[in-house]
């Protein structure tokens, strides 16, 4: 009975090993074919509630900094009196501010596959990265409200120009101001601005003016973005040709284009006055390649900026696609449909100078590359201290392809300028007539990616696929091992067990034969005979010897 029980146990063990081996092989092959990791990544890297990308997008853990370089005019008195032919400009900076972004009031629109949200940006002074304290350092810089109003008045009647000139003299407004860097950037009290806000509140609705306040902070919590979600695909996983690219802007505050740049909703506008189809520089598609190009939009630019693929770069072991802004990004030509909207009354600004006045109360402001790089050389003639440099002032945007997020190596470099046109009946402003005065330039850049993002990117590229392959290989090898063990149990007899029983029986027989007068009971002999009969058949001699 003991041997029969062991045989049942051996059969059960064989079946268990065979079943386990087949199960491991099945699931290992299933993981290899189905690739569940890619399905998980596709889900987690979509902008759906509860996903990893959604949490990262709500509060991006990116260290975004704005390096601000001010222009200090050092010989204003000599220039205005005629003792100096050129304005001496001294670059002062950087004054560094960290930009902290968060997205609020999120609403998903399933009917058109979009998401609506309100981005909020805060700016925190990074004093340890700055050249000095902006509240202490002082500069001399153009009086933007005065110069702007004077330029606008030149297109009015003679009486309006004379009246404005009288008001500015009464208020003792000067073309150049001397004040702290902080006040010039984030707001200072100006009597001309106060007067304008009182008499024309529909045009000027603020009592203080700061250039950084207007360029970056104004309207921070009131702009409502509508953004396209991941584009739909056909049953073969191919993106539909008419579908908008993932994470492109669909509209802002209900507008799909710049009405100030004469956007036509019926024709969907032109390349120079559209908003839709651009990216807000926070999230990009995951299927970008070397043939891709896209447009960046921020209210600061008052336009879309065109960037094209340049190269593949690596920062701290993380791959990125580098896209460069084109040298002619701010050019405007009256005979070009893609830039003619920037020309008012068929009058365009000089090469390399892009007007942004419609976005800033029609104050004649413009953006260029820093130090007038890639711009008309005549812009440099009235100044000393400007040094154009295509290498230093190139704007590049680096996108991490696995995550679709901007990464280290991104540098958006832009310069804000005061455009002074024709001056009428204002002796103080005459020396600055028909000049483009640099105000400041900024370098919006991304510092080293935080540890959590680096780990996630390395996991997506190397860690998670390696883990999946290890699991697959382990399951396949374990399955093969279990099947081999089952085959061994099936075709290989338990020789050791038989050898032990044989040695025990032979020892008992020798003891019976070798000891005189010893006799086994009939019951023991019958059991012994039955066991040997089961093991060796009827030909065994040991039972016979035992009986003898």
> pLDDT (tens digit, 9 = 90+) per residue, 446-477?
887 777 788 888 787 777 888 888 888 888 88
Q: How far is CA 82 from CA 72, 76, 273, 471, in A?
A: 19, 10, 42, 80
According to the model, what pLDDT value does residue 442 have?
96
Torsion angle in degrees (nearest 10) through CA of 360, 365, 370, 371: -160
According to the model, what pLDDT value does residue 421 have?
84
pTM of the model as a whole:
0.81
According to the model, what pLDDT value does residue 138 have?
96
Question: How large is the average pLDDT for residues 414-418?
Answer: 95
- Please provide the average confidence, as pLDDT, over all residues in the chain: 81
| Lookup result for tokens 């990893």 | 52
Among the ranges given (50-59, 354-363, 523-532), the one the predictor scored with the smallest mean pLDDT: 523-532
Question: How large is the average pLDDT for residues 171-186?
Answer: 88
pLDDT bucket at 197, cuts 50 / 70 / 90: low
According to the model, what pLDDT value does residue 361 have?
81
Q: Over the stretch 236-292, which tens digit does the pLDDT of each residue have?
A: 666 777 778 889 999 999 899 988 888 888 888 888 888 999 998 888 888 787 888
Question: How large is the average pLDDT for residues 117-124?
Answer: 93
According to the model, what pLDDT value does residue 494 have?
60
- Is residue 504 predicted with pLDDT exceeding 60? no
State the maximum Cα–Cα separation within the chain, in Å, rounded to a whole number: 151
Q: Is the dihedral of CA 286, 289, 295, 297 positive or negative?
A: positive
According to the model, what pLDDT value does residue 529 have?
54
Q: How far apart are CA 283 and CA 109, in angstroms?
A: 18
- Is residue 537 predicted with pLDDT exceeding 70? no
Check whether the bond before 395 is cis (ω within 30° of 0): no
- Tokens representing 374? 């890639």
According to the model, what pLDDT value does residue 405 have?
85
Q: How far apart are CA 218 and CA 299, in angstroms?
A: 9
Sequence spans of domains, the chain: 62-449
| 419 touches 364 (CB < 8 A) | yes
φ/ψ of 270, rounded to 5, equals: -120, 180
Tell me which residue of 257, 259, 214, 193 sits closest to 365, measured CA to CA. Answer: 214
According to the model, what pLDDT value does residue 67 have?
96
Q: How far apart are CA 411 and CA 408, in angstroms?
A: 9
Q: How far apart are CA 343 and CA 248, in angstroms?
A: 27
Q: How far apart are CA 244 and CA 240, in angstroms?
A: 9
Question: How large is the average pLDDT for residues 419-429?
Answer: 81
According to the model, what pLDDT value does residue 548 have?
38
- Is residue 507 predicted with pLDDT exceeding 60? no
According to the model, what pLDDT value does residue 395 have?
92
DSSP state of 175: S
- Tokens representing 547? 């009986």
According to the model, what pLDDT value does residue 130 have?
96
* Angle in degrees, CA 256, 261, 267, rounded to 5: 50
φ/ψ of 237, rounded to 5, equals: 80, 15
């Amino acid at each position: 009975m003991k041997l029969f029980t062991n045989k049942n146990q051996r059969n059960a063990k064989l079946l268990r090993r065979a079943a386990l081996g087949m199960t491991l092989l099945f699931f290992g092959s299933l993981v290899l074919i189905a690739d569940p990791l890619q399905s998980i990544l596709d889900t987690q890297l979509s902008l759906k509630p509860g996903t990893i990308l959604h949490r990262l997008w709500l509060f991006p853990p990116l260290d975004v900094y704005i390096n601000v370089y001010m222009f200090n005019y050092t010989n204003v008195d000599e220039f205005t009196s005629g003792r100096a032919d050129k304005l001496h400009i001294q670059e002062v900076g950087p004054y560094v501010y960290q930009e902290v972004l968060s997205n609020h009031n999120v609403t998903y629109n399933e009917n058109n596959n979009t998401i609506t949200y309100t981005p909020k940006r805060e700016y925190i002074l990074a004093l340890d990265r700055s050249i000095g304290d902006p509240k202490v350092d002082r500069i001399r810089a153009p009086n933007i409200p005065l110069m702007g109003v004077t330029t606008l008045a030149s297109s009015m009647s003679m009486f309006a120009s004379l009246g404005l000139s009288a008001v500015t003299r009464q208020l003792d407004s000067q073309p150049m101001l001397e004040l702290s860097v902080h006040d010039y950037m984030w707001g200072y009290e100006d009597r001309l601005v106060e007067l304008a806000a009182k008499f024309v509140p529909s045009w000027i609705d603020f009592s203080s003016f700061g250039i950084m306040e207007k360029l970056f902070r104004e309207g921070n919590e009131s702009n409502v973005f509508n953004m396209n979600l991941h584009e739909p695909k056909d049953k073969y996983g191919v993106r539909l040709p008419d579908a908008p690219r993932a994470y492109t802007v669909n509209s802002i505050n209900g507008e799909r284009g710049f009405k100030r740049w004469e956007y036509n909703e019926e024709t969907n506008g032109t390349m120079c006055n559209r908003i839709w189809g651009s990216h807000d520089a926070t999230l990009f598609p995951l299927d970008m390649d070397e043939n891709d190009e896209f447009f960046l939009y921020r209210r600061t630019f008052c336009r879309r900026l065109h960037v094209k693929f340049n190269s593949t770069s690596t920062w701290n072991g993380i791959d990125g696609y580098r896209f460069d802004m084109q040298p002619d990004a701010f050019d405007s030509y009256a005979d070009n449909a893609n830039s003619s909207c920037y020309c008012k009354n068929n009058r365009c600004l000089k090469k390399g100078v892009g007007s942004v006045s419609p976005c800033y109360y029609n104050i004649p402001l413009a953006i260029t590359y820093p130090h007038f790089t890639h711009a008309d050389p005549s812009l440099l003639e009235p100044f000393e201290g400007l040094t154009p440099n295509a290498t230093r002032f190139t704007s590049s945007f680096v996108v991490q392809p696995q995550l679709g997020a901007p990464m280290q190596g991104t540098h958006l470099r832009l310069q804000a300028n005061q455009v002074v046109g024709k001056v009428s009946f204002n002796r103080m402003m005459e020396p600055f007539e028909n000049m483009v005065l640099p105000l400041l330039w900024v370098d919006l850049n991304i510092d080293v990616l935080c540890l959590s993002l680096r780990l996630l990117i390395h996991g997506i590229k190397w860690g998670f696929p390696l883990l999946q392959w290890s699991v697959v290989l382990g399951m396949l090898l374990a399955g093969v091992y279990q099947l081999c063990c089952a085959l061994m149990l099936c075709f290989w007899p338990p020789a050791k067990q038989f050898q032990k029983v044989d040695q025990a029986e032979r020892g008992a027989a020798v003891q019976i034969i070798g000891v005189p007068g010893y006799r086994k009971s009939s019951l023991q002999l019958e059991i012994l005979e039955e066991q040997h009969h089961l093991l060796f058949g009827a030909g065994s001699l040991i039972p016979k010897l035992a009986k003898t």
